[in-house]
């Protein structure tokens, strides 16, 4: 079983090949290939690598599946003795990414 923990936009995500993750909006077209190089942890069968802070030789390859809006968050404010009530809603823009593979980078100088 191969998996990695990556960091994107200040959050950490558990990734495996064939799974998808929902991230904050990424500029890119649907079907575009993107790479995540901020890999914090990697487990490949018996091999375990921990980054300090990141693993330099590993990158995670993903494909943008779609752009969408997340579930609505409702913010409600009320002043009990003033009789004021305020309700606001917010939906953030998200991107769904399919993790295709976890790859090693070869740093060979020609």
Asked which of 12-21, 50-59, 84-93, 99-108 is least confident by mean pLDDT, the reply is 99-108
| Whether residue 10 has pLDDT greater than 80 | yes
Tell me how far CA of residue 108 lies from CA of 25, 39, 57, 105, in angstroms. 34, 20, 12, 9
pTM listed for this prediction: 0.81
Residue 59: both structure tokens together: 């990158």
Decide: 22 and 94 in contact? Cβ < 8 Å: yes
Q: b/e string for 14-33 if b means 16 or more Cβ within 10 A?
A: ebeeeeebebeebeeeeeee
Decide: 31 and 38 in contact? Cβ < 8 Å: no
- Residues 24-52: pLDDT tens digits? 999 999 999 999 999 999 999 888 999 99
* Phi, psi angles (nearest 5°) of residue 10: 80, 5
Residue 90: both structure tokens together: 């917010």
End-to-end CA distance of the chain: 34
């Amino acid at each position: 079983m191969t998996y990695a923990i990556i960091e994107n936009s200040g959050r950490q995500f558990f990734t495996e090949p064939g799974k998808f993750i929902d991230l904050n909006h990424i500029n890119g077209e649907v079907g575009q290939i993107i790479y995540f190089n901020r890999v914090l942890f990697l487990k490949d069968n018996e091999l375990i690598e921990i980054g300090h802070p990141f693993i330099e030789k590993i990158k995670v390859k993903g494909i943008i599946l779609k752009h969408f809006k997340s579930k609505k968050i409702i913010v409600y404010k009320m002043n009990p003795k003033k009789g004021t009530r305020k309700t606001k809603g917010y939906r953030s823009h998200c991107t769904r990414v399919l993790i295709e593979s976890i790859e090693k980078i070869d740093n060979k100088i020609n």
